[in-house]
Amino acid sequence: MYLVTIFGNLLIILVIIADSHLHTPMYFFLSNLSLCDICLSSTTVLKMLVNIQAQSRVITYTGCISQMYFFMIFVGLDVFLLGVMAYDCFVAICNPLHYTVIMNPHICVLMDLGSWVMSFMQSCLQELMILRLSFCTQVEIPHFFCELRQMVQLACSDTFFNYLAMYLIAGVLAGGPLGWILFSYSKIVSSILAISSAQGKYKAFSTCASHLSMVSLFYCTGIGVYLSSAASHNTHSGASASVMYTVITPMLNPFIYSLRNKDIRATLNKCFRGKSAKCRLF
């Protein structure tokens, strides 16, 4: 599953770089999302694979803090990029005549950099709050990676401000982009319903269908994890549920875009046809 995640997302990035027809805002953000998914999966799964191979479940304090830091960066980046991609769909469908003006390369780079900066800032804040806590010499983490909430629960010192910061940041981080995504799609649905022809409706809906699938997959699995862990005190079931958005979602994203997007499919077919032609020549 890890190899499928890496090669699938890497293939999406290479296809977008190779085909000049895909040098558009939507595919620019998609390539960033694929890079984010590679990093997110590597942050958690690589250490787990090493533990399985070495038959050792030990992680150092420094390694645990580093894993938490990068995990929070890439989860936050995933959320912000999905929000930015919703804005791209919103402009493309609701204001198509001004799309090239609004979504110019300068604005796209600024939105991408803003997503990275905000992800780094929230991760640094959470990390500073963790560093003020004290832990016992040996701690058993009931998870397959160093998850923030699990670490706060295992701390020996006062954790009030950690929980306060954690829930405030989670509310802003998840609620802000999710609220914008819901608002964007309410406007998108209204614009699609206003289109008279069935072909026009289908074309408009196909523009954002892949993104809507990714948003549904990411948020449904993420919310499901926290609802299941809140309903059940079994920490191991929460760890199993976390596999959905840390492993399954990054693995499925390339399939969602390659199977539902005709531009990606056309470029992949062109590449594979070119390779097979070369093979026949030699």
Q: 278 falls in which pLDDT band (50, 70, 90)?
A: very low
Which amino acid makes up residue 95? N
Quickly tell me which residue has 């699995």 as its tokens.
Answer: 221
pLDDT digits (tens, 9 = 90+) for 180-213: 888 988 988 888 888 877 777 777 777 777 788 8
Quickly tell me which residue has 């390369």 as its tokens.
Answer: 105
* pLDDT for residue 267: 73
Direct distance between the N- and C-terminal alpha carbons of the chain, in angstroms, rounded to an integer:
34
Phi-psi region of 38 (alpha: psi -120 to 50; beta: other; left: phi over 0): alpha
CA distance 138 to 66: 18
Q: What's the topology of domain 2-265? A: Rhopdopsin 7-helix transmembrane proteins (1.20.1070)
Mean pLDDT for the stretch of residues 209-238: 68
What are the structural domain ranges in the chain? 2-265
* pLDDT for residue 277: 39
Q: 106 falls in which pLDDT band (50, 70, 90)?
A: very high
Q: How many angstroms from the chain centroid is the CA of residue 132? A: 28
Q: Is a pLDDT exceeding 90 seen at residue 35?
A: yes
> Between 218 and 279, where is the model more confident?
218
Q: Is a pLDDT exceeding 50 seen at residue 280?
A: no
Sorted by sequence, the CB contacts under 8 Å of residue 196 that are 6+ apart come out as none
